[in-house]
Amino acid sequence: MEKINTGRRQALRQGVAMAAVVAPGMMFSSSARSAEKTYNYKLGIALAPTHPTAANLIAATAEIARASNGRLNIHVFPNSQLGGDTDMISQVRSGAIDFVSTAGLIWGTLVPAASISGIGFAFPSYDHVWKAMDGELGAHIRSAFSKINLMPMPKIWDHGFRHVTSSDRQINTPQDLSGFKIRVPLSPALTSLFKAFGAAPAGINMAEVYTSLQTRIVNGQENPLTILSTQKLYEVQKYCSLTSHVWDGFWLVANLRSWNALPEDLRQLASKVFDQYAVKQRQDVNVLNTTLRKELEGRGMVFNQPDVKIFREQLSKVGFYKDWQKKFPAETWPLLEKYAGQLS
């Protein structure tokens, strides 16, 4: 009996010893599998792949895949392949897609602070824009996204100053906009802006803009010069009035659950690379802006430069600024005026 008990004790000791050897290996194997897990995410954008924003997003995601050794693969779907802007916003909120890149103006109904850049004639120059968006105003807007469980990347991408185009008229004064059927994004701020000038704005998704202009559902639209080129709107628009009425940028926003599912090193990598390419995209847009007017003139567009001061005076006269000040969180408007100057 004693021999049997002794044998059992020896077997038990051997089992414990083997467990001590095997367990660390098992732990390492589990940790390694976790570290090597592959994440495949989707990123939607309405712009054409040749647009500087989409092109730099494609380049950024390729860099992220390379630097992560294939652990994080973010597939970019340009040209509204995943739906219009409002569709993609719904999808990123639900987690059906993981990232969306779209304009602050489009976010206005969900994140009011994000549409603050859509206040007409607020920013007189890019110098004012970047100080605001890379400063306290940008930080304020990002914190507003977090309240609806979305994660914006730190730097906003440049969409540019917007100008009015038309198939039948030049815009030189506010009166030239009276009764003008103009396409705007699905943005309360831009809709309100053009109504203040007596225009007839129609909210239409980017994917439908060309056809709407071609069939004269609307007679004009407003966008940065980069959009006129990449979306080939010069084929259906004759006149471009350099109103610079609004600057807007594209926020790159992640679904918070998708973002938090990534290991910390991949979150840091993605955030760093996206910001690097946001800066590069800004530079690309700046270079394009110096050449696009000449290119578009070569394609038949006629340009004019209105006096924007009279447009801003008209907005003040009809109470546009005072009305919009009331629609933002109390701390938002003072931050805008800190960088743009007094508006109301």
Map out the domains of the chain as residue ranges.
2-26+36-340
pLDDT recorded at residue 24: 44
Report how far Cα 47 is from the mean position of its chain's Cα atoms.
11
Rounded CA separation 50/78 (Å) = 9
Is the separation of the CB atoms in 310 and 174 below 8 Å? yes
pLDDT recorded at residue 13: 47
Q: What is the pLDDT of residues 189-236, one digit of tens each?
A: 999 999 999 999 999 999 999 999 999 999 999 999 999 999 999 999
- Mean pLDDT score across all residues of the chain: 91
SS3 assignment, position 243: strand
Kindly compute the dihedral angle of the four CA atoms of residues 199, 202, 208, 213, in this order, to the nearest 10 degrees: -30
Asked if pLDDT for residue 5 goes beyond 70, the answer is no
Q: What is the pLDDT of residues 238-287, one digit of tens each?
A: 999 999 999 999 999 999 999 999 999 999 999 999 999 999 999 999 99
Asked if pLDDT for residue 32 goes beyond 90, the answer is no
pLDDT recorded at residue 35: 57
Strand partners, 306: none
Closest CA to 73 of 58, 85, 83, 87: 58
Fold for the domain defined by 2-26+36-340: D-Maltodextrin-Binding Protein; domain 2 (3.40.190)
Tokens representing residue 256 in the block: 């918070």
Confidence of residue 138 (pLDDT cuts 50, 70, 90): very high
Tokens representing residue 107 in the block: 């976010």
Q: What is the pLDDT of residues 291-310, one digit of tens each?
A: 999 999 999 999 999 999 99
Label residue 202 exposed, middle or buried (CB < 10 Å: 0-12, 13-18, 19+).
Answer: middle
Pairing of strands 220-223, 39-45: unpaired
R_g of the chain computed on alpha carbons: 26
**Mean pLDDT for the stretch of residues 150-161:** 97
Asked if pLDDT for residue 12 goes beyond 80, the answer is no
- 80-102 core/surface letters (b: 16 or more CB in 10 A; e: else): bebbbbbbbbebbbeeebbbbbb
Closest CA to 100 of 181, 157, 39, 36: 157
Element (H, E) at 128: helix 126-133
Asked if pLDDT for residue 19 goes beyond 50, the answer is no
Strand partners, 72: 39
**135 residue type, one letter:** G
Rounded CA separation 114/332 (Å) = 10
In whole angstroms, how far apart are CA 306 and each of 141, 165, 245, 310?
A: 31, 13, 11, 9
Token look-up 């225009």 returns 199
**195 residue type, one letter:** K
Q: What is the pLDDT of residues 86-126, one digit of tens each?
A: 999 999 999 999 999 999 999 988 999 999 988 999 999 99
Asked if pLDDT for residue 11 goes beyond 50, the answer is no
Rounded CA separation 185/36 (Å) = 42
Name the pTM for this structure: 0.85
Rounded CA separation 329/331 (Å) = 6
Is the separation of the CB atoms in 72 and 41 below 8 Å? yes
Tokens representing residue 260 in the block: 């938090």
Nearby residues of 5 by Cβ (< 8 Å), 6 or more positions away: none
Asked if pLDDT for residue 18 goes beyond 80, the answer is no
Rounded CA separation 201/223 (Å) = 14
**Mean pLDDT for the stretch of residues 162-181:** 97
Asked if pLDDT for residue 131 goes beyond 90, the answer is yes
Q: What is the pLDDT of residues 58-90, one digit of tens each?
A: 999 999 999 999 999 999 999 999 999 999 999
